[in-house]
Amino acid sequence: METVLTGEETAKAQNLAEKTIFSVLLALSFTHMLNDTIQSLIPAIYPLVKDSLHLSFSQVGLITLTFQLSASILQPLVGLYTDKRPQPYSLAIGMGFTLAGLICLSLAHHFAIVLLSVALVGVGSAVFHPEASRLAYMASGGRHGMAQSLFQVGGNTGSSLGPLLAAAVIVPFGQLHVAWFSLIALLAIFVMLRISKWYLQNTDRIKPKKKALQTEVVRLSKGKVAFALSILIVLIFSKYFYMASLTSYYTFYLIDKFHISVQSAQVYLFIFLFAIAAGTFIGGPVGDRIGRKYVIWISILGVAPFALLMPHANLFWTAILSVFIGVILSSAFSAILVYAQELVPGKVGMIAGLFFGFAFGMAGVGSALLGRLADSTSISYVYQVCAYLPLIGLLTGLLPDIEKKKRKV
């Protein structure tokens, strides 16, 4: 027998759905921090495994490619499946794969085992990102940009902590101590199980409401939507190819050009990644207010002058420029993701999986190609070439102004 809600009950349910649930958003941000702390250990220990396993830059790039592809290929599939069949306990299951990957990585003394280990961590990431992004959307109360940025800032904070933890624990004591980070995975599983209970009780929040669809959905043709999504994907390519040069090879670049120690290079990597975390929260709330297209303009194209200057700077100014690059560039992804979700309403998980997956894939392909380029030329040459990638941000001008179109509907 179907339950019929009274007008008062319907109003109460709608008010509840429109309320921002900060406890869930903060828990998601915290688990994102734990998840990405673990993931950031992978590039942070590259100098260690490169020496111990006698790897080339091409093999280092292949490690990143394996991790990113295992994460990227599955993400849109996970998002598409859970759009139709929500899986409240999938977050904890995904973290179980990450836990297994960590343990394997701590014991890996062959290149093939390293690849298997990072692939397992990638599978955990493939489950986590689209599902956690869906939960952030559910708990946003309509403030989608703010929710996505709060979720993202946790991940970027975790990414910045990884190199510091690697410098403090793994570099001085060895690869076996990667196993200690299993405790972080166990903590994440505990928090994820608590989030899953809220997920189970609130799956109705993700269903689009007819009234909302009439007033908020952008009325663009399928061709225009496809074109806009294509532009967003090219912008993701620009952002993450450039980011791959910094996250995977920044320590090598500093060691090669300025002759500093591995631990000092890790500290500079932390400064850059912390700048990303600090700037992440800007894009979402500002996009909610002034429009996501303007945020995308500023975030990607605005990095160009700093990127062009960095290959010619000394150590002090390299660090300063990396902070500007991190803060400005980090606001792009939240704005791009929410813009895409507004283009394709009702497909939150699929869009999140597609864009997270493509971002991971581009980072992996970029790392592999840039590693090959570094082997055939030099690490400094890689940074001279990548400095021009942010100029692709000029394509933002081709995106439709969906905020104006919304007001006309």
pLDDT band for position 388 (50/70/90)? very high
Task: List C-alpha distances in Å: 94 to 33, 121, 122, 359, 389.
Answer: 15, 9, 9, 19, 33
Sign of CA dihedral 176, 177, 180, 184: negative
Q: What is the pLDDT of residue 215?
A: 39
pLDDT tops 70 at residue 97: yes
Instruction: Report the mean per-residue pLDDT for the chain.
Output: 81
pLDDT tops 60 at residue 12: no
Domain residues for the domain of 333 are 21-408
Q: What is the pLDDT of residue 310?
A: 94
Q: What is the pLDDT of residue 240?
A: 83
Pair of tokens at residue 362 = 């581009």
Q: What CATH number does the domain containing 58 carry?
A: 1.20.1250.20
Residue 9 domain-assigned? Answer: no
Residue 115 domain-assigned? Answer: yes
Cα atoms in the 13 Å half-sphere on the side-chain side of 208: 17
Task: List C-alpha distances in Å: 113 to 107, 171, 367.
Answer: 9, 19, 19
pLDDT one-digit tens code per residue, 102-150: 888 888 888 999 899 999 998 998 888 888 888 888 888 878 778 887 8
Residue 4 domain-assigned? Answer: no
Pair of tokens at residue 132 = 């956690």
Residue 16 domain-assigned? Answer: no
Q: What is the pLDDT of residue 283?
A: 64
Higher-confidence residue: 60 or 187?
187
Total domain count, the chain: 1
Angle at the Cα of 179 from the Cα atoms of 174 and 184, rounded to 5 degrees: 125
Burial class (CB in 10 A: 0-12, 13-18, 19+), 57: buried
Residue 166 domain-assigned? Answer: yes
Sign of CA dihedral 183, 96, 360, 276: negative
Residue 101 domain-assigned? Answer: yes
Please tell me the pTM assigned to this model. Answer: 0.66
Residue 1 domain-assigned? Answer: no
Region class of 219: left (phi > 0), else alpha (psi between -120 and 50), else beta = beta
Q: What is the pLDDT of residue 213?
A: 40
pLDDT tops 80 at residue 206: no
Higher-confidence residue: 348 or 321?
321
Residue 10 domain-assigned? Answer: no
